[in-house]
Copies of this chain bind each other. A is one copy, B any other.
């Protein structure tokens, strides 16, 4: 059995509970992508209950897409509870670099223990303290070698770093893998990046090797996207078929379609 498929099988069997404190734009998609992978999503962002909810969860997603002072307070409370319980925290650095406020808050959130830090090229570069031209939540131009930037950041923060894009960089600070699955359609809809973060969390909930869990989640998500693209008429139908194709991912299709390269 394919090693990536084995993790997917575990997700389907264990149905992990994935707590999110996320943005208001893609909150439904984040919940639904967990659900179609057979996980159990929960979204609770009141500071009064965020820690309690994290305490019964198997992984925690922190996505700062539409952060504010109250949700940041809830995030910190949930992260402390997650760290205490020992469940993985996935931090999605949405829009870092675009405003001073986000740049400050990401620093505060990085003081908690993170399993996987995720972002597009300009978000990860900004998080690493490199000055970039950003464009809201879409990636701007980054000068410099993203693999080195990601690797150093992973070593500095002692976590896995994932840089999403046409090809995704996944590193624990030593090894570096490139996930080459996916389709340009993913960049033509809102929510692909956020959903990828929730998928990574779902896989990290059942697999303690977080680098491999992140890779496995991305490969599955992006193969489903390739399958969806084949019968889509555009970005609208594509997104719905993406949900369809996740529930039918099989050992054979993953084994045949996965495009993964270890470059270090």
Contact = CB atoms under 8 A, between A and B. Distances in A.
- Is the contact region of chain A dominated by helix, strand, or loop, or is it mixed? mixed
Interface in A245-263: 245-248
A9 interface: no
A22 to B, nearest CB: 9
Contact of A23 (B43, B234, B240): B43
A36 interface: yes
B23 A46 contact: no
B69 A17 contact: no
Contacts of A49: 99-102
A56 to B, nearest CB: 7
Contact of A136 (B19, B67, B99, B100): B19
Contact of A43 (B65, B134, B234, B246): B65
18 contacts: A17-B136, A25-B31, A26-B28, A28-B29, A40-B135, A43-B65, A46-B66, A46-B101, A49-B101, A53-B99, A68-B70, A189-B243, A234-B241, A235-B244, A236-B240, A236-B241, A237-B244, A239-B243
